[in-house]
Structure 1
Amino acid sequence: MEHLSIKLDDLPDEILLIIFKKLDNFAILYSLIGVNKRLHKIAHDPDFTRHLTLFKHLKYASVSALPDSTLSRFCLQIVPEIHHKIKWLNVEPASMEHIFLAKNYPNLYGLGVYGIDVSSAISLFTVESKTTFIDGNDLKENIINHMSRLNTFTFSIRSLVDLRNQTELRSNEDIQHTFKNFKYNQIISYVDHFQEKQYSQCHIYSYPNKRKCWNNITNNFPGGLYKYVREVSLYDERPFEHEYFLRIGEAFPFMEELTINNKKPQMNKLHRESKSGNEDFSIIKYPHLTRVKFLAVHDDYVEQFLVDTTMCLPNNVFLAVCGQALERVTENFTRNTTRINCAKLRLVYLVGKYEITQQLKDYFPHTNVVRRLV
């Protein structure tokens, strides 16, 4: 760092500011405060102190807490110098308490909470048992009412509740009512009650939202535009129809990875097939898609993605699928309407016990087919 500071000292302040503004604010503060008087003063510039992200970004939606030693030094040595200048904080659950106990933030008006799961949310919002959803009342009582200057609050929280512990099933209207007079971003919510697995789910989030991953999206997903999302997973105990996949494409135009988990057959499939030429059904296009994973799925969804009259896959797609399901959908690797999309696959993982036959190889002449036992 001493060698670096000598080189930096050769540059005028104007050039240093241009360089530093292209770097992460946390890195600037952590690296420059205390080095020498000149760099220390530059690090205190409002451009570097007003908006801080105090976690590490991993792939897609994942976030990771800062190392304990890094966070401790920041909270003990740096926060006391700049706490009154901080106007926006992005944090993750594991380090929230440490950060907020370090000092008061009198000018904080924006808070982003990322990577929060159900157990963390329940702890954070002091819900004593998993018998109710986290809602607007919890956010107001446990966070917002304690931050008088807060005027922006971004979040995404999913609550799971055992159906057997519920005396009354809450509706989405009930949840939305708790956000009445909520003065921040638009708040979107949707509720699902899964009778087979005996649990309920409620997802509440601020909109617009910059999350890069959206998990367990059901038929009740209200839509919108999420241009930052790259990874999506779908789950429901009700079937996903063709129109649902169209809505997913509209909501996540830059989606790269898609995982599907649904064992229910499509109800409108026969109606779609009865239409001559399928003129009433738009072909689905996910132009940025690179990976598709079928977990526990009905054959209809494999067919939905491989038949060229319902889906137009981009080139070089990775596909993970049950070998038996692939055989059935391609009619033992002879079906013409699945050849075009199958030819676009770069890699196929055959999940489960399945022998790679010569007929399969001939059907995928330019695709790397790998058998994967699970």
Structure 2
Amino acid sequence: VNERFNKIIYDPIFTSRLSFPQLSFNKYIKKFSSDIILNRFCSHILPTIRTKIKWLDLEYESMKNILDAADYPNLYALGLYNIEEETVKCLFTDERLSASNLKNQITTLIISIDPDKNERSTMINICYYVFNVFINLTHLTFYDAAHQNNARLLFDVQTFDVCLYILDGRFEQLHTLDIELANILSPSEIENQRKIPNLKYFTLCCMARIWYYDESILPLIYRMSNLEELGLSFTTAVKETFVDGNDLKQNILNHMSQLKHFTFDIRSVMCINNEMNLPSKEDIQRTFDDFPYANIISCMDYFLEHKEGLCHIYSYPFLMRRFEDVTSNFPGGLYPYVRVVSLYDEHPCEHESCYSNISTISMYGKINYQ
């Protein structure tokens, strides 16, 4: 048995990435059944295989023991699961960690915050410690255990401030960033001008309606002069004109000389009155006649009782996970990546025929009706 065990622990296939947490009821718990087993593993096994370890996934109860057990000269990736602010503070201010090469070695970091402690202040404080310790990160993922979605490099955060912290210049080599925001409340006082020349792939999705598109998202994008792929998904309030092809060309494409792929799902909402000259769906679609990227679909709806106009433009094939504000004018199509759909109208639809085309989405995901 010992001989077979030794073969396993010395085989780089098994030792290059060691994962210690396991998921239980949306929380990560340690695999070790007792501290005695953990201590033996740290004292007898880790020191003998330390040079073969390239990736460690740790939960908060045992992470300090494992990191203190040995030096890991080839470790470049670290996953910290179910952590709390105090855990991060103690770990990242540890003298041994600060003095070791680990802070310079780590280029990939995954963080899963305890779902019971996932508040705005907690997120910002954890970001502060992370950014001051790991100075050579190229891949950083905030992982939501409750949603179990870790397929892409993703920040699932509450505010735009955290996004700006990530892009304040300390991660000069960062090249891929996928951010999902809960909201953008107001223009931030955090510095939003420093160029980010190495960022090549950027996706931003905001769940709540944005009131500061021109003052928040556009200045951020202008910092990414060498961006090759851009994805945007949000709803924004506008005053005089809807976001259409002309707007995207003038305010985004003309500033992105290296851009090769642009996917988007943008809804702009305007308060209307009877004196306004309102564009039709055809008017909006014509603004994309010379648009250089993909096929574009335009939808135009006016809700007279609410005195509101909704312009929805998106690239097709549709690559986003969410499809918001689907109205009775939805044109149909195939949407294999969509998992959440919301419907929007002035009056609840009493007949299935109102949304007959929605079946192309609903067969893949969950429908929320607004």
AA in 1 matched with 2:336:
K
**Match for 1:139 among 232, 248, 251?**
248
Match of 1:247 in 2: 357
Check the 8 A contact 1:226/1:253 in 2, yes or no: no
Q: Specify the SS of the correspondent of 1:175.
A: helix
Q: Cα gap change, 1:7/1:176 in structure 2, threshold over 3 Å: closer, same or farther?
A: farther
Question: Is it true that 1:40 corresponds to 2:104 in the alignment?
Answer: yes
Q: Cα gap change, 1:252/1:166 in structure 2, threshold over 3 Å: closer, same or farther?
A: farther
Among all aligned residue pairs of Structure 1 and Structure 2, give the percentage whose two residues are the same amino acid: 32
User: How far did residue 134 of structure 1 move?
Assistant: 1.3
User: How far did residue 237 of structure 1 move?
Assistant: 5.0
Match of 1:161 in 2: 270
AA in 1 matched with 2:184:
A
Question: Is it true that 1:83 corresponds to 2:175 in the alignment?
Answer: no
Indicate the structure with greater helix content. Answer: 1
Q: Number of matched residues?
A: 244
**Match for 1:6 among 45, 68, 84?**
68
Q: Specify the SS of the correspondent of 2:311.
A: strand
d(CA) in 2 for partners of 1:256 and 1:97?
Answer: 34
Task: Name the TM-score, length of structure 1 as normaliser.
Answer: 0.50
Q: Cα gap change, 1:165/1:117 in structure 2, threshold over 3 Å: closer, same or farther?
A: farther
d(CA) in 1 for partners of 2:255 and 2:343?
Answer: 36
Match of 1:114 in 2: 205
d(CA) in 2 for partners of 1:54 and 1:147?
Answer: 27
Match of 1:258 in 2: 368
Q: Cα gap change, 1:94/1:39 in structure 2, threshold over 3 Å: closer, same or farther?
A: same
Match of 1:184 in 2: 293
Q: Cα gap change, 1:218/1:71 in structure 2, threshold over 3 Å: closer, same or farther?
A: closer
* Backbone CA RMSD of aligned residues: 4.6
Question: Is it true that 1:226 corresponds to 2:335 in the alignment?
Answer: yes
AA in 2 matched with 1:230:
R
d(CA) in 2 for partners of 1:245 and 1:213?
Answer: 17
What stretches of structure 1 of length at least 5 have no aligned partner? 24-29, 262-374
User: How far did residue 114 of structure 1 move?
Assistant: 0.8
Q: Cα gap change, 1:147/1:253 in structure 2, threshold over 3 Å: closer, same or farther?
A: same
Match of 2:312 in 1: 203
User: How far did residue 169 of structure 1 move?
Assistant: 1.6
1:267-346 to structure 2, matched below 5 A, reads none
Question: Is it true that 1:216 corresponds to 2:328 in the alignment?
Answer: no
**Match for 2:158 among 65, 68, 77?**
65
Q: Specify the SS of the correspondent of 1:6.
A: helix
AA in 2 matched with 1:37:
N
Q: Cα gap change, 1:64/1:113 in structure 2, threshold over 3 Å: closer, same or farther?
A: same
Q: Specify the SS of the correspondent of 1:83.
A: coil
Check the 8 A contact 1:55/1:64 in 2, yes or no: no
d(CA) in 2 for partners of 1:217 and 1:160?
Answer: 13
